[in-house]
Amino acid sequence: MAGKAKEINIVILDVGRQMKEEELAIGKKFLSEFLRERIFDPDMYAGVVLIGARGAKSFFSKEGGGDFEGYGNIRMLENVRKISSRLLESVSNLNLEQGNSNYVDGMVVGLDLLHSFLDGFNSKVKPKAIRLILVSNGRAAEEEEELSELCAVMRHRSVAFSAYIVKEQEGLVSHPLLQTLMEESDAKLFLLPRDARALHPEPRNTQVATFNSTWRLTANLSLKVCH
């Protein structure tokens, strides 16, 4: 596929059992406004992944390792493509699904979508920003995860990670995985609805990815990265 992309945004939206209806409504409003601001620019691309999706099985491209049943409760709402009114409608129709949410699983799937898109995207124009965005309430199950390789993949791809956390009251977001991401990568944490207009600073000198090596994220899953 030939063209150019000013921005590539992969959004991980939490619809899981620890979310409240009002929290999902705030997250959906943020996402809808984020997409609406970019819908009339044909060089803006977005994909949306749902975590906590009840009964959903994981999906991975052939390059990303094929089917891997260890990642459940994840569903792709929209593959990476130009933003459409259909996507906005799909976001507005979302409801809580009561599945188990896992942030790392969602990030791995989001990076797999990004890999698949860039691997087939032919452009000499460098994107101004490649973003991986998590929208949740910061209360997903706390599991020990190895994040060093995940952070390394994002650095190699010049991916800017941001977490937009819905908070009923101002205060510290204490989820250990998010805290580790803030410490080990150039990640940013924002609170919703207060920071709905905030954006991760756009990375400079972003390159269109050319994949020529492989990172092992787990024993069963590897993702190619660029140098």
In a domain, 19, yes or no: yes
What is the extent of the structural domain holding 215?
Answer: 7-226
The predicted pLDDT at position 170 comes to 64
- What are the residues facing 40 on neighbouring strands? none
Q: Does a structural domain hold residue 25?
A: yes
Would 34 be classed as within a structural domain? yes
In-domain check, residue 2? no
How far apart, in whole angstroms, are the C-alpha atoms of residue 207 and residue 136?
29
**How high is the pLDDT of residue 118?**
86
Average pLDDT, the chain: 81
pLDDT-derived band at 59 (thresholds 50, 70, 90) equals low
Q: Residue 166 above 80 pLDDT? A: yes
Other C-beta atoms within 10 Å of 120: how many?
A: 11
pLDDT class for 216, splitting at 50, 70, 90?
very low
Q: How confident is the model at residue 201 (pLDDT cuts 50, 70, 90)?
A: low
- Assign residue 71 the CATH number of its domain: 3.40.50.410
Domain presence at residue 196: yes
Structural domain total, the chain? 1
Could you tell me if residue 1 is inside a domain? no
53/207: higher pLDDT: 53
DSSP string over the chain? -B---SEEEEEEEE-STT--HHHHHHHHHHHHHHHHTTTT-TTEEEEEEEES-TTPBP---TTTTS--TT-BSEEEEEEEEE--HHHHHHHHT---------HHHHHHHHHHHHHHHHHT-B-SSPPSEEEEEEEE-S-S-------HHHHHHHHHTTEEEEEEEE-SSS-----HHHHHHHHHSS-EEEEETTTTT--PPPPSS-----EEEEEESSSS-EEEEE-
pLDDT at 57: 61
Q: Is residue 122 part of a domain?
A: yes
Residue 192 in any domain: the answer is yes
Q: Does residue 64 carry a pLDDT above 60?
A: no
Arithmetic mean of pLDDT, 171-199? 86
